[in-house]
Amino acid sequence: MSDAPGDATAAPPTPPLGLFQGYGIELEYMIADSTTLDVKPIADFLIEAEHGSVESEIERGAFAWSNELARHVIELKTNGPAPALAGLADGFAGELARIDTLLEPLGARVLPTAMHPWMDAEREFVQWPHGYSEVYATFHRIFDCRGHGWANLQSQHVNLPFADDLEFGRLHAAIRAVLPLLPALAAASPFVDGAHRGVLDTRLEVYRTNARRVPSVSGQVVPEPVFTRADYEALLESIYADLAPLDPEGVLRHEWVNARGCIARFDRMAIEIRVLDVQECPRADLAIAAAASGVVRALCEPARQAALRELATEPLAQLLRSTAASGEATKLEDRDYLRALGLPATPRAVGDVWAALIERHVLPDPGAAEHRGALDVLLGEGPLARRILRRCGAAPAREELRETYRELGDCLRGNRLLRGDA
């Protein structure tokens, strides 16, 4: 779902932060029935229990909560950019504990991962009926939001700031190059409609086709090679023009309607990474955010830029589709791409690419110490989707699937990673 206006991270600081001077993190979660684990559309009741009234967003010190398109989803986020990633995992865990306390009398709990494994999206989708309803109603009228690609997906968004056009170009080039690798760390949606369809990151599969009525809205998910604000705004104008016959009032004429895997938010002077599945606990999410931002930071160096800007969109998009399906096992054979990443041009699995990039660009940072344990699990046992499949198999009975996701809910409460072995 594209971010609607009113996001707590939207107000840009004055002056704008430069590269890697701040981090905005957003995590989306499902609200589920405590007993059945079926989705429970009561996010407004949750917000009212905390705040005393139904609002689209409430602030809680360093964090904020907000609604999403689907009424069973709650989003937690940093209340503006945080100066560093350190300590955020524990902070998010504290917010989740508060939410679970409020949900308990309502017979509900929070569940992690990027898709509910057996939700009937056609039947169970309930649209948020309160603030920004005109925006949500317009999305629904144009795209029919009852499908999985709108009604059943939870992600982590990582917002990285830029101060000016030069920094925007460097950051966009770096993020664009890293996007296709991210599902190898973050794939966490192996089940849909109660079945595994051979894809580890089903959220990305349904996400990239959810706006097919207006294909330019999401493009190929990997964005085009645009490195100035003027060129980016020309891209936005082309999207607005394609939407205009279906949205003559211009309700969706905002930069957040762009649904590519990373989008520029000039309203907050940041680029938002959008291809990350939400994990089983904030420790895992923040470890992935640290890995992604550490590698992006290295690729923002001026010496890397020429090779990155030569990368064509179609091969990157094809690689993203491959890693969404096969995760860390995807074979990477593009020698020019490997060289652009600063690695030897030797074909290898994407999991090995991540191991090399993390060793070189992430672990030397003293701030990475708190993420080392989670990164060891991600590199050693694979993304969460792989570990879920090891636990329950590719064709589990509904009760087996329910028990696996109940344990994932317990992982969320304990802020611990799921291990692949029982």
CATH number for the domain that contains residue 295: 3.30.590.20
Residue 1: per-residue pLDDT: 39
Residue 374: per-residue pLDDT: 98
Q: What are phi and psi of 75, to 5 degrees?
A: -110, 135
Please choose, from the candidates 218, 213, 327, the residue with its C-alpha nearest in 3D space to the C-alpha of residue 274: 218
The vertex-33 CA angle with 28 and 35, nearest 5°, equals 135
Cα dist from 300 to 104, 160, 193, 210, 312, whole Å:
45, 12, 40, 31, 18
DSSP secondary structure letter of residue 293? H
Domain presence at residue 127: yes
Cα dist from 342 to 104, 169, 362, whole Å:
49, 19, 14
Residue 156 identity: Q
CA dist., res. 81 & res. 19, Å (int): 12
Domain presence at residue 78: no
% of the chain surpassing 90 pLDDT: 95
Pairing of strands 270-277, 155-161: antiparallel
Residue 302: per-residue pLDDT: 97
Number of domains in the chain: 1
pTM: 0.96
Work out the number of other CB atoms within 10 angstroms of the CB of residue 402.
Answer: 18
Task: Please classify residue 369 by burial: count the beta carbons closer than 10 Å to its beta carbon, then call 0-12 exposed, 13-18 middle and 19+ buried.
Answer: exposed
Taking 70 as the pLDDT cut, the residues of the chain under it are 1-13, 422
- Look at the chain and count its residues: 422
Domain presence at residue 69: no
Domain presence at residue 264: yes
Residue 422: per-residue pLDDT: 62
CA dist., res. 160 & res. 87, Å (int): 17
The vertex-417 CA angle with 411 and 422, nearest 5°, equals 85
CA dist., res. 278 & res. 280, Å (int): 7
Domain presence at residue 41: no
Domain presence at residue 74: no
Domain presence at residue 291: yes
Asked if 121 and 147 touch (Cβ cutoff 8 Å), the reply is: yes
Residues of the domain holding 367: 118-414
Domain presence at residue 88: no
Tokens representing residue 220 in the block: 């190929």
Residue 420: per-residue pLDDT: 82
